[in-house]
Amino acid sequence: MPVAIITGASKGLGRALAEALAERGWDLVLDARTAGVLQETAGALAKYGTRVEALPGDVTDGAHRAGLVAAARGLGGVDLLVNNASALGAEPLVRLDSLALDGLRRALEVNVVAALGLIQEALPLLRESPEGAVIDVSSDAAAEAYETWGGYGASKAALDHLSAVLGEEEPGLRVWAVDPGDMGTDLYAAAVPDDEDPRPEPARVVPAFLRLLDRRPASGRFGAPALLEQR
């Protein structure tokens, strides 16, 4: 069975994607910082009968990243790495004139440095896979200028560029940066707690990610809404 590593997998988009892959028979290595919620997620996936390794930890910890890849190796390798774990840099978000530099450093550390670190750790196994792929979860804030989203958007823009270069350097892999679009997640609620407008559930965009895996387009940046419109 193919094996995927998904970070930030205990809730939101990460959990929805994990469930969709488990339903398809994928074996999974799941990461999140909160052990109890992660274990609950792993337990819920047991109904699909696939192997699930749940490793709580922080993706900025190199030893934790090595543990995720080691767990995947134990399941047979790495066919897909999903860098979904994200940090805002400030909760709620603030204008750049008030953004604490330590918050910006945290966003860059989680969204860019740790993502590259996990890619580097997993690359040998991804190269061995006949269909190795990396999905870096991006944001429209990486390409559009929204007030208060500057620090987070800058980190996601850096992740986009890293993904584009990796796609050039690793032609044997597929490297997709994916903007999932509007979703109702804990991350969004923490970013803009006063916004009470209803937003789509993360599971709504999962078919866009599955479409990438099924069709395997060339490496590049994709928006989930556009993928969902394709026939």
Confidence of residue 153 (pLDDT cuts 50, 70, 90): very high
| pLDDT given at position 108 | 98
61: left (phi over 0), alpha (psi -120 to 50) or beta: beta
- At 226 the three-state DSSP class reads helix
Q: Which of 48, 146, 152, 188 is labelled catalytic?
A: 152
54-90 pLDDT, tens per residue?
999 999 999 999 999 999 999 999 999 999 999 999 9
Query: Is the separation of the CB atoms in 136 and 175 below 8 Å?
Result: yes
Average pLDDT over residues 89-117: 98
- Packing angle, helices 101-108 and 150-169, rounded to 10: 30
| pLDDT given at position 198 | 85
Q: Is the pLDDT of residue 148 over 90?
A: yes
List the one residue out of 178, 186, 188 whose CA is nearest residue 211.
Answer: 178
pLDDT-above-70 percentage for the chain: 100
State yes or no: is 152 an active-site residue.
yes
Q: Is the pLDDT of residue 230 over 90?
A: no
Residues in the chain: 231
156-201 pLDDT, tens per residue?
999 999 999 999 999 999 999 999 998 999 999 999 999 988 888 9
206-215 pLDDT, tens per residue?
999 999 999 9
pTM of the model: 0.97
Domains of the chain (ranges; CATH) run 3-229 (3.40.50.720)
106-141 pLDDT, tens per residue?
999 999 999 999 999 999 999 999 999 999 999 999
Q: Is the pLDDT of residue 218 over 90?
A: yes
